[in-house]
Amino acid sequence: MKTILVLGLLTIGLLFPANSIAQSLPSGKNIADNTYARNEGISLNRTLTMELKDKRGKTRIRKTTSLRKYFGDEKRLAIFYLTPKSVMGTAFLTYDYPDASVDDDQWLYMPALRKTRRISASNRGDYFLGTDLTYEDIKLETRISKDDYNYKTIGLETVDGKTCYVLDGTPKNNTIAKELGYSKVKLWVDTNIWMLRKAESWDVAGNHLKTTLISDIKKVQGIWTYHKIEVKNHKTNHETIFRISDVDYKTELNDDVFTKETLVNGL
Amino acid sequence: MSLRYSVFMILLCFFLGVHGQEKQNKFKKSFKASLVIDSDFSYEFKSEKSQKSEVILKPEFSYKLNRNSKFILKGQLYTDFSDNLEVGVPKEETVSNFSKRLFIGDRTSLELREFYFHTKIQKKLDLTIGKQQIVWGETDGLKLLDVVNPQNFREFILDDFEDSRIPLWSLKAEFDIKSIDIQIVWIPDNTYHITQGFDAPFFTKSLFKSPPEGVQSTLNEVKRPKRFFADSDVGFKLNTFNKGWDVSLNYFYYFDDLPVFYNKLQFNENNDPLIVINPKFERQHLLGGTFNKVFGSSTFRGEIAYIFNQNFASNKPEANLGIETSDQFKSAIGIDYIKGEHIISAQLFSDIITHDISPYNRDIFETNISLKVSQEMMNDNLNSEVIWVHNANHGDGYIKPQISYWLNTNTQLFLGSSIFYGNETNLFGQFKDRSRTSLGMRWGI
């Protein structure tokens, strides 16, 4: 019996040499590249509702129209607030340049002042308009950064019934860590559609900071689209739920939607 | 026959019903209505009484004809239960008939704030026609280029500019030539600043030269330009964005929104001296520009304005009708530093009279500084900010601390103070008795 067990283990050892599972997994860079290669359409029009929930359960809801369009490799994103009515008209515009060394350009239109303010994009780790996602998180849109982290693919796990690559990411240096506000991330990327399904992050001091879950992923007009993002901040116990609806990739957006004039004039 | 007729009628009714339903659905999708209610109760420290108890209802309606065209209507029902800031029914001599408010008793007024049609023609030309606000410039707190629309000085500069700015019937056209955005404005609405009477809390006495003691004065009715075309204001703004620099060039040919108070000494029938003041609006040219660029965590911004032939009340006894004229150069540089939830914004304003004149109650070279420190807390639930504006020449200014809190999705609470300091002959110092604390609520649906 003992001999059979040893022979069995030897056979398994010959068939599946040590580390072979890890070696067969794609590299972090490869996975990151695939998240970027995912089809996102040229232009996108959607309703984005943000539900902000504090630790006492008090909830504030912000409804926006979110528009995105690629101009070659450059991505432009505009968000127009629809509710609450007292901040209706607030609008945010960002130009995301393909060259990572070039800072994005960002503008915020404040209807109470009727003025458009330039916003520094260098603080990419700042939280986006009261939510639990940072400007950088918003910009990545379920892709994983190609330039900021050293990744290690550590295995396969199931999230929401789907198989995902699990990656550990550490910022390439302290400056990047401080900019992003994270000292470490753990990411779950769908092996089939190359979309982030779950993320855990730790702050610069090493404390567990946030859990992000991306769900309700389905094809819209042939393009894999997420419809819900839940972010829980473990330090503040604040929670943000992003709900995406009325997704439209087909109606081409005019270029001039992504201008300061449209921020002022509205949609 | 009757069966055929019945089937035909049923089909017709069905079609009309569906079509009617479609129309109704389309209307529902295109039409949007909202309401914001602002209330503000301010307590004046000096007089120990209410300075204002206002409630403002701001309904807004929009109707989208299609992807490129929409109508916007914004109304306002304003009530000040204290009837203190604008006592009784103001005459509104400086307001055109098309822009006057409708007063219901002494405390309440109805106003068509904005009513315009916006359309995009062949994706190349944006037109906005109707009553609207057009805002130029980069500065906060003090205005250099934001002179397209006049202002109601009911609360001096304490009111939100959004509320104190007077929308005008005008046309705004916007189009691009290569990488330059061009905006052209035409404003036939002859409405100018609403300033307050001698007895109002925020009467700006520092602008007016008092007659010598024992000499009476008469203020005649202001002469307001009234010709539709000839007295229109026109201007343009060119804007471009290149290599991170956002730059604009502005030109405006307009009537100054404050009249020139021409005055002369006369003698009445008893041979007593009498100063007769004849206010009149005068034309001006303004040439200006703005720039901004982001450096790291900071945005560097600036604004300049050169005004040709600005009129000033004069200290010189020999000045013609008490007025001297000079060009005026105004500039502002500012820096906004944003780090996390903190914003620090500092501005330096300069104002130079270029000619050798003796202006009343101001220096040839004046400097103002402003500082704004703001912090968002609890995921933008709570905001605290302090704004400080200070005139370096005269040592007067004001400080405005405020906190605001989102009670729920639709309701925001405000608590703040406005504290003026300085000599009462100066622009800000004259209002030191008007210092106040305010409690407000904004609710919208």
A120 closest CB neighbour out of B60, B338, B408 = B338
Where does B65-101 show beta strands of DSSP type E? 69-80
For residues B309 and B355, give the distance between their C-alpha atoms in angstroms, rounded to a whole number: 10
pLDDT bin (cut points 50, 70, 90) of residue A101 is confident
Structure tokens at B431: 């209002």
| Pairing status of strand B283-295 against strand B298-313 | antiparallel
Structure tokens at B180: 């330059």
Q: How many CB atoms are closer than 10 A to CB A236?
A: 14
Q: Which residues of B touch A111 (CB under 8 A)?
A: 162
Residue with tokens 């009714």: B13
Is there a contact between A132 and B340 if contact means CB atoms under 8 Å apart? no
What pLDDT, on a 0 to 100 scale, did the predictor assign at position B5? Answer: 52
What pLDDT, on a 0 to 100 scale, did the predictor assign at position A149? Answer: 95
* Position A10 pLDDT exceeds 50: no
More confident residue, A76 or B88: A76
- Average pLDDT on A12-37 reads 72
CB B225 within 8 A of CB B231: yes
pLDDT tens-digit map of A40-49? 999 999 999 9
C-alpha angle A93-A97-A101 in degrees, rounded to nearest 5:
125
CB B396 within 8 A of CB B421: yes
Sequence-distant (6+) residues with CB within 8 A of A191 are A156, A162, A163, A164, A165
Amino acid at A174: N
Lowest pLDDT segment from A137-151, A221-235, B101-115, B325-339: A137-151
Is there a contact between B338 and A123 if contact means CB atoms under 8 Å apart? yes
Concatenated DSSP letters for B321-332? GGEEEEEEEEEE
Residue with tokens 């915020």: A108
Domain parsing of chain A, residue ranges: 40-265
CA distances from B330 to A116, B145, B312, B357 (A): 21, 9, 15, 17
C-alpha angle A183-A189-A193 in degrees, rounded to nearest 5:
150
* Position A85 pLDDT exceeds 60: yes
B409 closest CB neighbour out of A60, A115, A254 = A60
Structure tokens at A103: 């800072």
Q: Which residues of A touch B405 (CB under 8 A)?
A: none
What superfamily in CATH does domain A40-265 come from?
Lipoprotein localisation LolA/LolB/LppX (2.50.20.10)
pLDDT (tens place) for every residue of chain B, 445 residues total: 444 555 555 555 455 555 567 777 878 889 999 999 999 999 999 999 999 999 999 999 999 999 899 999 999 999 999 999 998 899 899 999 999 999 999 999 999 999 999 999 988 899 999 999 999 998 988 999 999 999 999 999 999 999 999 999 999 999 999 999 999 999 999 999 999 888 899 998 887 787 788 888 888 999 899 999 999 999 999 999 998 999 999 999 999 999 999 999 888 888 888 999 999 999 999 999 999 999 988 999 999 999 999 999 999 989 999 999 999 999 999 999 988 889 999 999 999 999 999 999 999 999 999 999 999 999 889 999 999 999 999 999 999 999 999 999 999 999 999 999 999 999 999 999 999 999 999 999 9
More confident residue, A4 or B258: B258
- By the CB < 8 Å criterion, does A52 face chain B? yes
Is there a contact between B126 and A261 if contact means CB atoms under 8 Å apart? yes
Q: How many CB atoms are closer than 10 A to CB B195?
A: 21
Q: Which residues of A touch B120 (CB under 8 A)?
A: 256
A246 φ, ψ (degrees, to nearest 5): 50, 45
Is there a contact between B162 and A236 if contact means CB atoms under 8 Å apart? no
Buried b or exposed e, range B219-231, using 16+ CB within 10 angstroms: eeebebbeeeeeb
For residues A116 and B135, give the distance between their C-alpha atoms in angstroms, rounded to a whole number: 10
What pLDDT, on a 0 to 100 scale, did the predictor assign at position B9? Answer: 53
For residues B151 and B137, give the distance between their C-alpha atoms in angstroms, rounded to a whole number: 15
What pLDDT, on a 0 to 100 scale, did the predictor assign at position B18? Answer: 53
A261 closest CB neighbour out of B135, B174, B409 = B174
